[in-house]
Structure 1
C-alpha cells in the first residue's frame, strides 16, 4: 500500500496497524505490550508505527483514527486487565 487507502483500515490487518500506532504514539505503551496483545513481534509493531507515521499529517488519516477510537479504548482496557493479571 503506497497510497493512503481508508478502506484498508476496515480490514483486520488495517485495524491491527491502527491499534499499534495509536497505542504506541498516543497512549505511550511499550512495543512489547502491544506486540503481545496483537500476537505479533516487536519489530512488526515498529514497522506498523513507522508505516502509518508518514500519514499523520493527512486529514483523512486523522478521521480514520477518530473512527477507530472505540477499538483503541477496548484494546487499552484489555491490555490493562492483562497487566493486572500478570502482576497479581
Structure 2
C-alpha cells in the first residue's frame, strides 16, 4: 500500500465528492426520466419543468465531473512533484 502524503488527501477528497455528485445526478436522472418519478418544486409544490430538471442535473453532474477531473490532475501533479523530490534527495 502506498504511503499517503498530505498533498494526496485534498485531491482524493475532491475526487470522492465529485464522484458522489455524478452518482447522485445519474440516479436522479434515471429515477425521473427513466422510471417516471416526479420531482416537485419545494416552494410551490407543483411538478418541476422537464427543462429545469435537465438543466439542474447537468449542472450538478458537471460540477461533479469537474471536481473529479481537477482532483485527478492535482493528484498527478503532486505525485510527479513527490517523485522529483525523491530523485533529488537520492542524488539522481
Does TM, scored on the shorter chain, surpass 0.5?
A: no
TM-score scaled to structure 1, two decimals?
A: 0.29
TM-score scaled to structure 2, two decimals?
A: 0.28
Q: Which has the higher contact order (CA 8 A, sep 6+)?
A: 2
